[in-house]
Chains A and B, each alone.
Chain A
Amino acid sequence: MSTEKDAIQVTTIVDRSRLALQDDFLRGAVRFTTERLRGRKAASSEELGNWEAWRERGRQIRSHTIAHLDYYLRQFVDNVQAHGGHVYFAANAEEAAQTIVKIVEKKQAKLAVKSKSMVSEEIHINKHLQERGIEVVETDLGEYIIQLAGEMPSHIIIPAIHKTRSQIKDLFTAAGATNLTTDTKDLTAFARRALRDKFLRADVGMTGCNFAIAESGSVVLFTNEGNGRMVSTLPKTHIVTMGMERILPTFADLEVMANLLPRSATGQKLTTYMSVITGPRRAEEADGPDELHIVILDNGRSSQLGDDEFQEVLHCIRCGACLNVCPVYRHIGGHAYGSVYPGPIGAVLTPLLNQGEAYQDLPYASSLCGACYEACPVKIPLHDMLVALRRRNVEQGRTKWAERMAFQGYRMVFAKAGRYKRVMRLARKAQKPLLRQGYVESTMGPLMGWTESRHAPALAKSSFRERFQSMQQAWRRGEDGGDQV
């Protein structure tokens, strides 16, 4: 019998990335868009000026908030309730999904519309609702495309980053569009028409939450298409799903994030729509839902609190900048990670949130180049965390026997210079049959992973330390004035 867990274990990041690497469409699309986003981010942060100071301020705000998360969460919840909102805490994805299902069923809802939310992906809410016969429609253009394709988002900001225009045209045509071209105007016009009707008929609107303001109990949404406003105002019931770490203490802190997040995500100075939602519709107001429900998700987050090495992962504001600069993400895209959150943040967050054996191979999908840290608007040291996660795998005995032996060997050889010299001398002799003009070119043998795509240099005839000795001897004899330029 095969379980979901087995399925995860049979495909590894290595298998999945191999498939992705064969997909030229995907690689072209991801390269094109991430490069554009990088360029825009560079320009817009330059234009703001003092970017490093902004980043540092961002880090401080997140660090302070997460260090006092219990206090600010309490304050947030009290303020939501004071404004007539309902709050639920969910320990895990299953609980969150069940809570939402209950609310939706109580409203006897047939149709739910959603705006973009990574947390809703994390709890697989669409699947849960659809299983109960409730129609769920994604209204963010990218998410809509992905939903039609029956896929997961492959980027946390640009869910359909891996799709080309003509693939999108085909998906829309299959969904009933006629005479479409690959023109952006045409494509969005179709989505707009298709979605308009859903907004008007929906019983429930579901959103995520970019920031939750403790001092007022407000939920803040950053969107670009205006769909977030429709989702949060037209249906009678509004359900917000948020990770427990989304909190900001005050509106003054929001100002900093409103500068950092859009610039880091898409290079925009400001997001097109910033909605601040405080409680359901009041009696004197024209728009807004009758009920506001906020589901606050833990799902492994609180386990990071108090952990020196990993607490900072909760500082993340989900801007996607680390994906856009990651050379690994650039080549394999998001689906190869196999997780809801891809890229460097995904490679750190996923094994932390999933305490089991699944996804523990993700931290190896990095060359540790540090581009993610450099890009991160709140300075999360993702490259250090990737190493720490690998260390945790070693400590918990997850690594292969052969690898453990190899590093035992490394320790034996490199702990003592005498032994190191002897081993290198032996290796120099042993390599002879493999060499051609000073290189190893053969694609067989232990170096295969390297030599398939690269030649490997030979160990030099004599090591530098041997050569240094003869240089010194020559100097002592007053010869070899090669350095006397």
Chain B
Amino acid sequence: MKVSLFITCLVDNFFPNVGEAMVRILHHYGVDVDLPESQTCCGQPAFNSGYVKEARAAAKTLLDAFDGADYVVSPSGSCTGMIHHYFPQLFQDHPIDSARARALVDKTFELSQFLVNILNVTDVGARFPHTVTYHPSCHGLRLLGVKDEPLQLLSHVQDLRLVPLTGANDCCGFGGTFAVKMHDISTAMVSEKADRVVESGAEVLVGTDAGCLMNIGGRLRKQGQPVRVMHLAELLWEGMQQGKVVSR
């Protein structure tokens, strides 16, 4: 099976470890991974601010990058949601690009969805002896419908203790440009989220979107809270390596 990575601009530039973990997990399941060079960003920052032309220019790089792909997998529910929910509309006036956009929607998956629904994997054979809480990101949850997949994967990790997060489904206040443009409101939101992560008693916060994790993690760090913030791919991969040690 061949998968093309849609790495997203945040992971590409800020969190390469997430990308690496993702590639290694996919490799482990015998998937051939490539990274089409011409991709940049899904266009969401511009699109959500109302700059459609600007968004389209970036989004087009994804159409070009993934024309030949069988599957496209991304570490972000939000960026995958952008493709699913808005690409057909973004390219609706262009007959060829709109067909390409619809084709892209059909083959693009967020990582946990791909693992659970396409590869039919729920137990990656990982061991992660820590207390963990999970923040479901809004766009993954609501635009894309990523609900149980991350939890299914986490529930099979050995020795992982998953603790509930109060108000888990409430937005963390990232919202892209919202975090800067409306920073007072965003701060109120992320403070509450970070407080709740701390209250949960978890050592590790896990999520499926780098943007939200950067936001909550940045707040926790500013407050000197020793909670480790990890993307699901990082947690699974780290756990898979530990699982290996134990099973030998």
A401 interface contact, C-beta 8 A: no
Interface size class of A (residues with CB under 8 A): 35 or more
Residue of B nearest to A363 (CB): B50
- CA distance in complex: A341, B7 (Å): 41
Q: Which of A332, A391, A417 contacts B52 (CB 8 A)?
A: A391
Q: Interface segment, A2-10, A141-149, A450-458?
A: A450-458
Q: Interface segment, A151-159, A177-185, A370-378?
A: A370-378
Contact between A407 and B35 (Cβ–Cβ < 8 Å)?
A: no
Q: Interface segment, B21-29, B99-107, B109-117?
A: B21-29
- CA distance in complex: A471, B217 (Å): 28
A420 interface contact, C-beta 8 A: yes
- CA distance in complex: A424, B14 (Å): 11
Contact status of A17 and B13, CB under 8 A, knowing A457-B214, A471-B23? no
A131 interface contact, C-beta 8 A: no
Interface size class of B (residues with CB under 8 A): 35 or more
Contact between B50 and A366 (Cβ–Cβ < 8 Å)?
A: no
Chain B residues lying within 8 Å of A447, measured Cβ to Cβ, are: 180
Majority DSSP secondary structure for residues of B touching A = helix
Contact bitstring A381-423, B, C-beta under 8 A = 1, else 0: 0000001011111110001000100011011011111001000
- CA distance in complex: A30, B50 (Å): 30
Q: Which of A17, A387, A464 contacts B20 (CB 8 A)?
A: A464
A273 interface contact, C-beta 8 A: no
Q: Which of A393, A395, A454, A456 contacts B190 (CB 8 A)?
A: A454
Contact between B16 and A328 (Cβ–Cβ < 8 Å)?
A: no
Give 26 A-B contacts (CB < 8 Å), ordered by A residue.
A13-B182, A328-B182, A328-B189, A331-B188, A366-B175, A367-B138, A367-B174, A368-B139, A368-B178, A370-B138, A390-B49, A391-B52, A407-B54, A410-B51, A413-B40, A415-B61, A450-B179, A453-B190, A453-B191, A453-B222, A454-B218, A460-B14, A465-B35, A468-B5, A468-B19, A468-B35
Contacts beyond the supplied A371-B170, A411-B46: 11 A-B pairs with Cβ under 8 Å? A327-B171, A330-B170, A364-B181, A366-B178, A390-B50, A410-B58, A414-B9, A462-B16, A464-B15, A468-B19, A483-B23
B interface residues, Cβ below 8 angstroms from A: 5, 7, 9, 11-16, 18-20, 23-25, 27-28, 35, 37-41, 43, 45-54, 57-58, 60-61, 125, 138-139, 142-143, 169-171, 173-176, 178-192, 214-215, 217-219, 221-222, 240-241, 243-244
